Structure 1
Amino acid sequence: MSYTLGVDIGTFETKGVLVDATGAIIAQASRAHKMLVPQSGWAEHRAEDDWWGDFVFVTTALLRDSHVEPEEIVAVACSAIGPCMLPVDAAGKPLMNGVLYGVDTRASAQISELTERIGAEVIMARCGNALTSQSVGPKILWLKQQRPEIYAQTAMVLSATPYLTWKLTGDYVMDHYTAANFSPLYDVNTLSWAEDLAAGIIAVDRLPRLAWSTEIAGHVTAEAAAKTGLAVGTPVTVGTIDAAAEAVSVGVRDPGEMMMMYGSTIFIIQLTALPVRDPRMWYAPWLYPGQHASMAGLATSGTLTHWFRDQFARELGDGAFGILASEAAASPKGAKGLLCLPYFSGERTPIHDAGAVGAFFGLNLTHQRGDLFRAVLEGIASGTAHVMEVCRELGAEPVRVLAVGGGTKNAVWMQATSDIGGVPQSVAEKTIGASYGDAFLAAVAVGRVLPDEIAEWNPVARVVQPVSEAVYARQYPLWKRLYLQTRDIAHELGGVV
């Protein structure tokens, strides 16, 4: 027998899976960690503990529980949250916590500075993306300006997956999909680092070499083998960001197909025949040469449901989410006229407003906890519908939506997303997530399967159909107006100009 191993580092949890040549799951393991919020607008992980430490933990657990011999594992693939910014020294040691993806909004001033210096049109033409909180380039400039002593020691800037790849192989490698999020440092037209645009931010020799996700980055070193239990010389793929691996895991493979990931954030990836470039969305080359991805992401989704549970249902213990879901299901659609803006960490696509704030609007004395929780779920669903609206405007309406992630277990959330967004959602048989996609990509990398064989590994199990609801037809336009009519107040409250 031969096996592939996939490990994914998420915002709050690391998951690993070991599968056989048919895609059957042999073993699973996970480990929780925390997102650090040192101050408002910041979001961080400890790279050595939360990324590498978790990888070691789940890998050793998989080998122990499966009784698979390390030599039987033919390839390893990793994915992780991203894009992140992690400066390391000449020995590869992290110089600070890893700065997370778009939920970290510390570089707002640098976004404005670089957009003005380079020009918004040039950035869009060369990088395929406007500069937003998702962009790593402004965060590197923040490092240079605000932490010059760390910047001076920086030999390489990594994201989470390249850090794991380095720990396993000793090589600094990054996939093109991740690199496209390093705007304005990456040129999507030449598929290379843009030395001229990077001037004044960082020298491109301090960025990893570029490769495709299913290329082999290197092989497990003796040092990494001693830590993980893996065999020395095991091939390690270049890997990618978690959302991309998650899309692969549920069968996204052809233009027009879209992955909707219900995780700590809603993240959307749609494959397109040609590049779709619009400042409201993100663009990247896909995991294989010649393919393209249009992407979107909300800032707080699962994170917001966790916040609600911790603030209003802490006393319910481990069963809190189940009880909250039941209470939300008992509340009528529209939550008795209650609107929720889910912008509790600003917002990413399509409004790209770091100064946006969360709000409940329409409260009265008849509202109960279940109404508020339904409003939270419908607020997130409205944010998702807003993205779908932009997709249609750009002529990129999806032909199929594949849903994945922990939120797919919440029937109210799923149905509200279909109803407000007007889209059916297919749910695959296995909803493990990115780690399963990693295991499949590892198999692709060593020639055990072809990319389109994911449908055999993970067929569709059910479909959530949209229902036309008069209450949503009335409330969704009001939800959009609520943000527009309170935006100036929100910015003044937060000091955003």
Structure 2
Amino acid sequence: MRALIGVDIGTQGSKGALISESGHVLATHSIEQTMTIPRPGWAEHDADGVWWAGFVEIVRTLLLRSQVDPEQISGIGVSSLMPVMVPVDSDGRAVRPAISYTDSRAHAEMIAMNVELADVGETPLVGHDIGPKMIWFRDHEPVNWRRTRMFTGAQGHVIARLTGRYVIDSITASGMRPFFDFKTRDWDVLHCDRHDIPIAMLPEVVEMTDVIGAVTEEAAAETGLAAGTPVIGGATDFIAELISTGADQPGDVVVSYGTTLCLGVFSRQPIAPWPGGGSMLRAGSDLARLYPDLHAVGAGMATSGALTRWFRDQFGQGERRVEQELGINAYSLLALEAEATPPGADGLVVLPYFGGERTPIYDDQARGVIFGLTLSHGRAHIYRALLEGVAYGLQHNLDLIREAGASPRRIVATGGGSRSALWTQIVSDVTGLPQEVIAPSNAALGAAFLAGYARGIFRHIGDVRQWAQAEREVRPRDEVHSLYQRHYAVYRRLYERTKEEMHELAGLSDVALDAPPRSAVPSLATQAM
């Protein structure tokens, strides 16, 4: 039996799927992983010890569970979080921890680069763009910079470890602004020269379904795969997850309840530019070929499941012990407690900007707020308010997308958080949209589909529906929707009235951090010696 493998490298965990060429899911495996916060505003990942080691564990587990002969694997797809900065040396090993899109250490560099971009009439950079982080790295870690041969992303690093070839798909490359040119779909020579970024240090831009190489003998020995197995260019995690749902109708809003919340909205008509997200189906791209005659825009919030994990890890020690001892999911226990509190959490509103925010406010110095606390509030109220805060953020994005000309009709839900009946009900009640929860669907399955598409096994997006089905439907409740709209009005005003204080606190945090960060990276003083 011939089969396909997809692996997704995520912010807080990785997952894999092995499917047959006929679309049957033969094995899955997932693992939790960690993102380190060496100091406020920083976010890092261990590219070799976590991402690559996790990939190896997942692939070996999939092969063991499925009992599929490695020689029968027709192709491998890898997806991942994006954008991230992974500098690697001449041996292909990371020279420092990868810097995540949520990391805001390069805020000053971003501001300086935006002044230059404004002078030439170009779109300003935002907090998740990698260009300013590369400049920060060059100027603050000169020793590591001199050791760097290549910059890559998360899936690019795994693909390089698999094949020895450095590539980046064009959608992931768009996160490396201003060094990527959207028109040519390649590196922007002018901006690279202006900022002294050698083109030779940037990977080759490919499309996500290009077969870019094959598993090497060295990688085969580590992973258990057969040498020579084809590997494709890979995709961003949300693109792979969106594909895995099979959604392809105008008005569909694909929402991924992941570590971050991402959404994509399909439309028959073009959608005007809006201050939050960008076009997903660029002419000539693999993605546009998968969705002919459609337009789509995408958006993403900085935190979603990251908030529930933060709460679990900080305040749910009892639930974690129950999970370890009895196998009852800790998040389910927290949700059960929160479900006993009323919609609106008895007057609590959360701004979910615990990692800054992407769309629609694009403020890397935004900070989280739990507003309205009284002595009557408990842990369950706060947990519910966190879920509601993410739903308000989704509503904010949808409001702007509607103003741009799209007409959202239903939510197609995927991602780990979509397993929560409470959270999905909150989202439908806040947005007023019905919701279909698709299962199984995840980025690993989407990556496996893309590998099959690249190999000519799958022909169109409808083939995904061999496994992706509506697990359940969620209907909004009119009376609860009306209540939530009053809370949402407070949510919208709250950021505008507190953002100056947020920025001031962010600056005060930076001033207080003169001591070396809690990181394995050598300090500047050490590097200068």
Task: Tell me the TM-score normalized by structure 2.
Answer: 0.88
Give the one of 431, 440, 444 matched to 1:430: 440
How far apart in 2 are the matches of 1:275 and 1:143? 37
Give the one of 470, 473, 478 matched to 2:482: 470
What are the Cα deviations for residues 31-72 of structure 1, in whole angstroms up to 9, with x where unaligned?
A: 222111111111111111111111111111111121110111
Q: C-alpha displacement at 1:179, in angstroms?
A: 0.9
Q: C-alpha displacement at 1:201, in angstroms?
A: 4.6
2:433 match: secondary structure: coil
1:366 match: secondary structure: coil
User: What pairs up with 1:60-459 in 2 under 5 angstroms?
Assistant: 60-101=60-101, 103-119=102-118, 122-124=121-123, 130-199=124-193, 200-253=195-248, 256-271=251-266, 274=270, 277-284=273-280, 285=282, 287-289=286-288, 293-317=296-320, 318=323, 319-431=329-441, 433-452=442-461, 453-459=463-469
Give the one of 486, 493, 504 matched to 1:481: 493
Kindly indicate whether the alpha-carbon contact (under 8 Å) linking 2:319 and 2:334 is maintained by their aligned counterparts in 1.
no
What are the Cα deviations for residues 309-331 of structure 1, in whole angstroms up to 9, with x where unaligned?
A: 22222123224322221121111
| Equivalent AA in structure 1 for residue 158 of structure 2 | L
| Equivalent AA in structure 2 for residue 347 of structure 1 | E
Kindly indicate whether the alpha-carbon contact (under 8 Å) linking 1:266 and 1:300 is maintained by their aligned counterparts in 2.
yes
1:19 match: secondary structure: strand
How far apart in 2 are the matches of 1:244 and 1:176? 12
| Equivalent AA in structure 2 for residue 344 of structure 1 | F
How far apart in 1 are the matches of 2:253 and 2:167? 27
Q: Which residue of 1 aligns with 2:527?
A: none
How far apart in 2 are the matches of 1:495 and 1:192? 36
2:375 match: secondary structure: coil
Q: C-alpha displacement at 1:225, in angstroms?
A: 0.8
Kindly indicate whether the alpha-carbon contact (under 8 Å) linking 1:388 and 1:397 is maintained by their aligned counterparts in 2.
no
2:407 match: secondary structure: coil
| Equivalent AA in structure 1 for residue 466 of structure 2 | E
Kindly indicate whether the alpha-carbon contact (under 8 Å) linking 1:425 and 1:465 is maintained by their aligned counterparts in 2.
yes
Q: C-alpha displacement at 1:410, in angstroms?
A: 1.6
Q: C-alpha displacement at 1:428, in angstroms?
A: 1.4
What are the Cα deviations for residues 190-222 of structure 1, in whole angstroms up to 9, with x where unaligned?
A: 212111122215122221111111110111111
Q: Which residue of 1 aligns with 2:520?
A: none
What are the Cα deviations for residues 281-313 of structure 1, in whole angstroms up to 9, with x where unaligned?
A: 244546435676522221221111112222222
Q: Please, what is the CA RMSD of the aligned residues?
A: 2.0
Kindly indicate whether the alpha-carbon contact (under 8 Å) linking 1:252 and 1:402 is maintained by their aligned counterparts in 2.
yes
Kindly indicate whether the alpha-carbon contact (under 8 Å) linking 1:123 and 1:184 is maintained by their aligned counterparts in 2.
no
Kindly indicate whether the alpha-carbon contact (under 8 Å) linking 1:80 and 1:242 is maintained by their aligned counterparts in 2.
yes
Kindly indicate whether the alpha-carbon contact (under 8 Å) linking 2:19 and 2:448 is maintained by their aligned counterparts in 1.
yes
2:48 match: secondary structure: helix
Kindly indicate whether the alpha-carbon contact (under 8 Å) linking 2:271 and 2:406 is maintained by their aligned counterparts in 1.
no
What are the Cα deviations for residues 366-402 of structure 1, in whole angstroms up to 9, with x where unaligned?
A: 2222212111111111011111111111112334431
Moved more, 207-216 or 276-285: 276-285
What are the Cα deviations for residues 159-181 of structure 1, in whole angstroms up to 9, with x where unaligned?
A: 01111111111111111110111
How far apart in 2 are the matches of 1:87 and 1:150? 9
1:233 match: secondary structure: coil
Kindly indicate whether the alpha-carbon contact (under 8 Å) linking 2:104 and 2:365 is maintained by their aligned counterparts in 1.
no
**Compared CA separation, residues 120 and 307, structure 1 to 2 (3 A):** farther
| Equivalent AA in structure 2 for residue 38 of structure 1 | P
Q: C-alpha displacement at 1:263, in angstroms?
A: 1.0
Q: C-alpha displacement at 1:231, in angstroms?
A: 0.9
How far apart in 2 are the matches of 1:72 and 1:372? 49
2:5 match: secondary structure: strand
What are the Cα deviations for residues 63-112 of structure 1, in whole angstroms up to 9, with x where unaligned?
A: 112111011110011111111101112332211111112x1111111111
What are the Cα deviations for residues 462-490 of structure 1, in whole angstroms up to 9, with x where unaligned?
A: 32222232211211011111111111122
| Equivalent AA in structure 2 for residue 140 of structure 1 | M
Kindly indicate whether the alpha-carbon contact (under 8 Å) linking 2:45 and 2:97 is maintained by their aligned counterparts in 1.
yes
Kindly indicate whether the alpha-carbon contact (under 8 Å) linking 1:180 and 1:283 is maintained by their aligned counterparts in 2.
no
Kindly indicate whether the alpha-carbon contact (under 8 Å) linking 1:259 and 1:270 is maintained by their aligned counterparts in 2.
yes
Structure 2, gaps ≥5 residues long: 324-328, 511-529
Moved more, 433-442 or 130-139: 130-139
Q: Which residue of 2 aligns with 1:127?
A: none
Task: Tell me the TM-score normalized by structure 1.
Answer: 0.94
The count of corresponding residues between Structure 1 and Structure 2 is 490
Structure 1, gaps ≥5 residues long: 125-129
| Equivalent AA in structure 2 for residue 305 of structure 1 | T
Kindly indicate whether the alpha-carbon contact (under 8 Å) linking 1:141 and 1:201 is maintained by their aligned counterparts in 2.
no
**Compared CA separation, residues 47 and 269, structure 1 to 2 (3 A):** same
How far apart in 2 are the matches of 1:485 and 1:239? 42
| Equivalent AA in structure 1 for residue 381 of structure 2 | D
* Identity over aligned pairs, percent: 39
Q: C-alpha displacement at 1:156, in angstroms?
A: 1.1
How far apart in 2 are the matches of 1:277 and 1:159? 27
What are the Cα deviations for residues 334-376 of structure 1, in whole angstroms up to 9, with x where unaligned?
A: 1111111111122111111122111221122222222121111
How far apart in 1 are the matches of 2:174 and 2:167? 14
2:162 match: secondary structure: helix
